[in-house]
Amino acid sequence: MDRFINNPAFEGIEPFESKLWLSSPTMHGDEQKWVDEAIQTNWVSTVGPNIDEVEQQIAEYVGVKYAVGLSCGTSALHMATKLAGEKLYGQAKPNQGTLQGHKVFCSDCTFDASINPVAYEDGEAVFIDTEYDTWNMNPEALEKAFEIYPDVKLVIIAHLYGTPGRMQEIKEICDRHGALIVEDAAESLGAKYRLNGQWVETGTLGNYNAISFNGNKIITGSAGGMFLTNSQEDAEKVRKWSTQSREDAPWYQHEEIGYNYRMSNIIAGVIRGQIPYLDEHIAQKKAIWERYEKGLDDLPVSMNPWDRKNAQPNFWLSCILIDKYAMAPSVRGEKDYLYKSVSGKSSPHEILEALAAFNAEGRPIWKPMHMQPIYRMNPFITVEGNGRARSNAYIEGGGIDVGADIFRRGLCLPSDNKMTPEQQDIVIDIIHRCFK
């Protein structure tokens, strides 16, 4: 870190007194009121008025009939994926997941919680490459995947960093192939998408939908998630599964595997205090994204993009992609990295280290799932077809891999909505100096 602090190239910049976070909780005071009320009235459990209230408020905000409060976004995604598996392949045995023997097409540039439920349910994830236009699933690669694996009936799609994917095309492809969609809107609560000419919220675009209230999300409960649906039957099933699958009997009676996935009324109290500020948080995040776009426009970088005609992101995280020609040499191993400082160029780790030296948090782009050690042998499909084993010792060139390229050249910038414009200008200055 000394190499930045004592470096003349960074002269005049002082470390931030308190850390600038990537995205931290922003409390407003009402959270305390609802938590206190829960404790005073002894609703300290996985039932209570805060849960009922946040389920209703989120269902209304997003525009679905039912929202089921769960312990986290991951459990919501598990329930969504399991429902899809049962719908497609029937009720599972206790020792056998609903997706056993089946492939599922999955977003590749996402957090692993999006797609781990496929493994929980004993299915095999097939990763679909990313497009440069939204950093989400490429519909053309999805179409290719259906050519290669025509029997697949389930697609899991995430909206990375709060930017909606190209859902019009993806839904049309899925409809044509009779496939269901699990939508992971964990990062995109409040983002809107124009579907068939109508603006709708993310979290309504799949057959089974999930959101998250994790501490780093656009609003938070410290933890928590929700399953969103218009189907009363599905909502009731998720309520049952998430409370240990109890049958209607005087004793504990079980015909299905159960889970302890229900939301706590204390956590729901925090969420209840946050919901009124969702739109305010989105406006703050948008202003941050726009300030970066303007402040960095003279550098060889571009911001995480979005479809300006058909999408309104929630701008959860602001990110940059370094132009190919301006990438300084850098390599990554499984845990370590090395980079070289080159005048006029930079690399994600140089910028991340510089930010860290001045007490600001950035992060590498989420490493694509097809590159993760655990999923390294799973199929990966690009716009060219099979994305594995593309190079040839005797022929120059290799295959396209957009996710790997965005991971290599991109990074997430401090995007906390408590960051002041003055602080953000210093972050922008630090990034400029990395390219000097």
Ligand X SMILES: Cc1ncc(COP(=O)(O)O)c(C=O)c1O
Signed CA dihedral, 249, 252, 255, 259: sign only = positive
Q: What is the x/- site pattern for ligand X, positions 221-260, by CB under 6 A?
A: ----x-----------------------------------
Angle at alpha carbon of residue 190, lines to 186 and 195, rounded to 5°: 95
Q: Where are the alpha helices (DSSP H) in 92-245?
A: 116-120, 139-148, 167-176, 232-242
Instruction: From 88, 105, 98, select the one nearest 378 (Cα to Cα).
Output: 105
Residues β-bridged to residue 199: 194
Contact with ligand X (CB under 6 A) among 73, 123, 362, 379: 73
- Residue with Cβ nearer ligand X (327 or 369): 369
Angle at alpha carbon of residue 99, lines to 96 and 105, rounded to 5°: 155
Q: What is the DSSP letter of 417?
A: T
Instruction: Sheet with 124-128: list strands edge to edge.
Output: 66-70, 225-229, 208-212, 180-184, 154-158, 103-107, 124-128, 380-382, 385-386
For the bound state, the minimum distance from the C-beta of residue 163 to ligand X, rounded and expressed in Å, comes to: 12
Q: What distances in angstroms separate CA 303 from CA 143, 288, 291, 363, one per listed residue?
A: 27, 12, 11, 15
Cβ contact 193:200 at 8 Å: yes
Tokens of 326: 């301006």
Q: Rule CB under 6 A: is residue 74 a binding residue for ligand X?
A: yes
Q: Rule CB under 6 A: is residue 113 a binding residue for ligand X?
A: yes
- Residue with Cβ nearer ligand X (75 or 382): 75
- Residue with Cβ nearer ligand X (54 or 327): 54
For the bound state, the minimum distance from the C-beta of residue 402 to ligand X, rounded and expressed in Å, comes to: 18
Contact with ligand X (CB under 6 A) among 34, 43, 66, 111: 111
DSSP string for 244-296: TT--SSSS---SS---B-BPPHHHHHHHHHHGGGHHHHHHHHHHHHHHHHHHT
Q: Rule CB under 6 A: is residue 205 a binding residue for ligand X?
A: no
For the bound state, the minimum distance from the C-beta of residue 371 to ligand X, rounded and expressed in Å, comes to: 16
For the bound state, the minimum distance from the C-beta of residue 342 to ligand X, rounded and expressed in Å, comes to: 33
Q: Rule CB under 6 A: is residue 116 a binding residue for ligand X?
A: no
- Residue with Cβ nearer ligand X (185 or 328): 185
Q: Rule CB under 6 A: is residue 265 a binding residue for ligand X?
A: no
Point out the residue whose Cβ comes nearest to ligand X. Answer: 73
Q: What is the x/- site pattern for ligand X, positions 120-159, by CB under 6 A?
A: --------------------------------------x-
By CB under 6 A, the count of residues binding ligand X is: 15
Q: What distances in angstroms separate CA 66 from CA 134, 192, 215, 217, 277, one per listed residue?
A: 29, 19, 23, 21, 21
For the bound state, the minimum distance from the C-beta of residue 118 to ligand X, rounded and expressed in Å, comes to: 13
The H or E element that residue 76 is part of is helix 73-89
Contact with ligand X (CB under 6 A) among 138, 212, 304, 424: 212
Q: What is the x/- site pattern for ligand X, positions 181-200, by CB under 6 A?
A: ---x-xx-------------
- Residue with Cβ nearer ligand X (89 or 111): 111
Q: What is the DSSP letter of 212?
A: E
- Residue with Cβ nearer ligand X (209 or 347): 209
Q: Any idea which residue has 């008025």 for tokens? A: 49
For the bound state, the minimum distance from the C-beta of residue 370 to ligand X, rounded and expressed in Å, comes to: 16
Q: Which residues bind ligand X (CB under 6 A)?
A: 72-74, 77, 110-111, 113-114, 158, 184, 186-187, 212, 214, 225
